[in-house]
Structure 1
Amino acid sequence: MKKFFEAFVNIWKIEELKNRILVTLGLLLVYRFGAHVTLPGIDATGLTNLSKQAEGGIGWLIDVFTGGAFSQASVFALGIMPYISASIVVQLMGIAVPYLQKLQKEGESGRKRMNQITRWLTIAITLVQGPGYIYNLNNTLPAEAFLMPVSSFQFLFSSVVILTTGTIFAMWLGEKITDKGIGNGISLLILVGIIARLPQAFIQEFTSVVTENNGGPLQLLIEVVVWLLVIIACILMVMAVRKIPVQYARRTASGDFEQDMFGGNRQWIPLKLNASGVMPIIFAQAIMFIPAALAGLYQSDTANTITSEFKNPFGLAYNVVFALLIIIFTYFYTAITVPTNKMADDLKRSGGFIPGVRPGVETGDYLDRIMSLITFPGALFLAFLAVFPAVVKSFGVQQQWALFYGGTSLLIMVGVAIDTIQQINSYLLNRHYDGLMKTGKGRKAVA
């Protein structure tokens, strides 16, 4: 603990790192301020029904990702989610569209072009979601909450333009944090939104358990301990890797590589157990919106049953389908983000080989087989983490507090926190200070 505080003090001795942290905090503060600025033409005192809509289920998930802006009818009500949706679409299209595949191979210029495509797609998605959000306000809020007719062109046009601008501004803040601050800006914007809802959820659980005597302090202590254990399990899973030994051949006088099992430069290929991160949960969560939306278009008992089942994130049918989708998407996303064939080709070109495995195709097949084996426990863990809030709620935990026991919110909190700490750690180690994490020292790996 003493070394941790010493490292924390050392952070402020590095001028560049200190400035980056201050820039990050300042931009995050701007984003949080904007989440409480209500759209023009809406009375902020009449948002009670909208807040109730965001108290549980799907509405709560949307509100968490927007940092409470959804329930505030804020200028940031759509948050950064259109940008994330656009990024996912562009990434998936990169598998099938030759033009995007070409851009991916062009290095920095290709990356800038893909970012530009993502931004334009973000605007298109926002222009579609904006009217949908206004329609939801019209159906949810009483007429007294609107200071002008919601059906008027002036209100609809100005609101959609403001919502689109809010998303673009949030996207700009995220990119500025990434460039000028510390950590991944988009992820940090989501993180602060999640953390902003955590105290409120805990206070509600505390009131229910202790004040209203629904279990007492002992139950609250058990809940906090279980929550901390889940966080520790998330940290271990996020950081868990399977190390594959790599032997680098010696270069002969003729310039050829000569394999030497006992000489040369030895390194490791770290293959993550959870290489896909939180993306499978986000993909599956997006798919889970579709059945209820389609069923809502029809009026029948079957359609009503489907709608009720898939609007309840704590129901059995919802969680079974959700878990299966996460396992499928984990394998799918890992396959497209971990190019084992490219890794094998890079190793072969640099004179590297895995002992006992032929360079080239056999190395690619070997790495692919290892990834398939270690992805399975990672997929099961993600699926369990996603449905764990439903398990916790069955023991009487309040709905909002239960949602912090797993799913997208907890994994984002852990993943983003670890990524940010690792970046800070690299600054400290480069300046010859002790890092915040022991694993930051002396590691050699092949990317």
Structure 2
Amino acid sequence: MASRADQVAANLSLAKFGEATELRKRIWFTLGALVIFRLLSFVPLPGVDPVVLADLYDQTRGGVLDIFNTFSGGSLERMSLIALGVMPYITASIVVQLAAALSPTLAAVKKEGESGRKKLNQYTRYGTVGLTAVQGYFIAVGLESFASQSGLQAVVEPGYMFRVGAVISLVGGTLFLMWLGEQITSRGIGNGISLIIMAGIVAQMPTFVGNLMEGSRTGSIGAMTIVGLIAMVAGLVLFISFMERAQRRVLIQYPKRATQHGVMQADRSHLPLKVNTAGVIPPIFASSLLLMPLTVSQFAGNATAGETAFGD
């Protein structure tokens, strides 16, 4: 079955675009929702010192935080209300889907049709709340334990009130993004969660281009290197688009049937199956697992250095 985006692309015509009022409304609604997402990425958590936080992020570059920061559009770097982005929702969705394949009870719920799908979505939302609360608590504790080399702490007033406020803020931000993605799916052009992730990645592209231009100006990056990177990115986008649209067509052949007007000839059809059914989830988790030891070691070293500086 074709998705909403495929149907829009198939029926899109510049001559008829002025008459497509519903399509314009969906596009404007999607753009407005993405603007709200970008505005929220600049709203910081209450009680956090942004200067010390920037020092903390500079010391932990190169780990799994860079991946999460890219998907959240720089929200993690600024420790905003939506610092965790939609990653807890994606993780909870994968866990529920795996549990539905392994648990007979959830498998029976999945076979109930539309009602079963709504129940699994509700379980996913509960899992998102729990996972976000756990991650938010550890983030709050980690921020309290960090101090810069000058002895300044990342949290202005550490304590249980800050932890509770941080957990509530992060849970609310993630749930709002989840709701916003569902609204884009139903009232926008579809694939709301994917569009939010894409908006976060695209928002980081000016920084990437600026770093390339700065490297070219200072001479640390050669012109051929920049041309090679641009060609590689363009080729990678084309290859990903090709694999995303690729289908394996399974032949379906119908036998001859006798009718009132004689024998009907055998008919042929095909069942389109996507080649890439998993999407980008496996690379995301593979990169996270590979970078996890580096991230843990960096946090352990920063926490020890912060305690020493604060003790002095």
Are 1:93 and 2:99 matched, yes or no? yes
- Which of 190, 196, 207 is residue 203 of structure 2 equivalent to? 196
Q: 1:146, 1:283 → 2: CA distance?
A: 29
Aligned to 2:185: 178
- Which of 168, 173, 187 is residue 175 of structure 2 equivalent to? 168
- Which of 253, 271, 274 is residue 272 of structure 1 equivalent to? 274
Greater Cα offset, 7-16 or 190-199: 7-16
Matched AA of 1:168? L
Aligned to 1:34: 40
Q: 1:14, 1:53 → 2: CA distance?
A: 50
Greater Cα offset, 138-147 or 81-90: 138-147
**Cα drift, residue 222 of structure 1:** 2.5
Greater Cα offset, 225-234 or 235-244: 235-244
User: CA contact under 8 A between 1:241 and 1:272: conserved in structure 2?
Assistant: yes
Q: 1:108 to 1:284 in 2, by over 3 A?
A: same
Aligned to 1:75: 81
Are 1:229 and 2:235 matched, yes or no? yes
Partner secondary structure for residue 273 of structure 2: strand
**Cα drift, residue 158 of structure 1:** 0.9
1:303-355 deviation line (CA, Å, top 9, x unaligned): xxxxxxxxxxxxxxxxxxxxxxxxxxxxxxxxxxxxxxxxxxxxxxxxxxxxx
Q: 1:86 to 1:289 in 2, by over 3 A?
A: farther
**Cα drift, residue 141 of structure 1:** 5.0
User: CA contact under 8 A between 1:248 and 1:266: conserved in structure 2?
Assistant: yes
Greater Cα offset, 118-127 or 52-61: 52-61
Matched AA of 2:93? S
Partner secondary structure for residue 70 of structure 1: helix
Matched AA of 1:27? A
Aligned to 2:55: 49
Aligned to 1:346: none
Aligned to 1:159: 166
Gaps of 5+ in 2: 1-9, 302-312
User: CA contact under 8 A between 2:81 and 2:173: conserved in structure 1?
Assistant: yes
Matched AA of 1:56? G
Matched AA of 1:276? A
Aligned to 1:435: none
**Cα drift, residue 55 of structure 1:** 4.0
Matched AA of 2:157? P
1:368-379 equivalences in 2 (<5 Å): none
User: CA contact under 8 A between 1:66 and 1:190: conserved in structure 2?
Assistant: yes
- Which of 22, 27, 32 is residue 28 of structure 2 equivalent to? 22
Provide the alpha-carbon RMSD of the alignment: 2.9
Gaps of 5+ in 1: 300-447
User: CA contact under 8 A between 1:49 and 1:140: conserved in structure 2?
Assistant: no
Q: How many aligned positions are there?
A: 287
Q: 1:17 to 1:136 in 2, by over 3 A?
A: same
Greater Cα offset, 221-230 or 139-148: 139-148
1:30-75 deviation line (CA, Å, top 9, x unaligned): 1111011001112334432134146433221110122111110101
Matched AA of 2:273? L
**Cα drift, residue 206 of structure 1:** 1.8
TM-score for both structures, normalised by structure 2: 0.82
- Which of 100, 110, 131 is residue 104 of structure 1 equivalent to? 110
Partner secondary structure for residue 7 of structure 1: coil
Q: 1:89 to 1:289 in 2, by over 3 A?
A: farther
Q: 2:64, 2:118 → 1: CA distance?
A: 34
**Cα drift, residue 187 of structure 1:** 0.9
**Cα drift, residue 282 of structure 1:** 2.9
Aligned to 1:149: 157
Q: 1:8 to 1:42 in 2, by over 3 A?
A: farther
Q: 1:65 to 1:140 in 2, by over 3 A?
A: farther
Q: 1:146 to 1:103 in 2, by over 3 A?
A: same
User: CA contact under 8 A between 1:20 and 1:180: conserved in structure 2?
Assistant: yes
Residue identity (%):
36
Q: 1:185 to 1:50 in 2, by over 3 A?
A: farther
TM-score for both structures, normalised by structure 1: 0.59
Aligned to 1:402: none
**Cα drift, residue 238 of structure 1:** 1.9
**Cα drift, residue 136 of structure 1:** 2.7
Are 1:240 and 2:246 matched, yes or no? yes
Matched AA of 1:207? E
Q: 1:13 to 1:266 in 2, by over 3 A?
A: same
Matched AA of 1:15? T
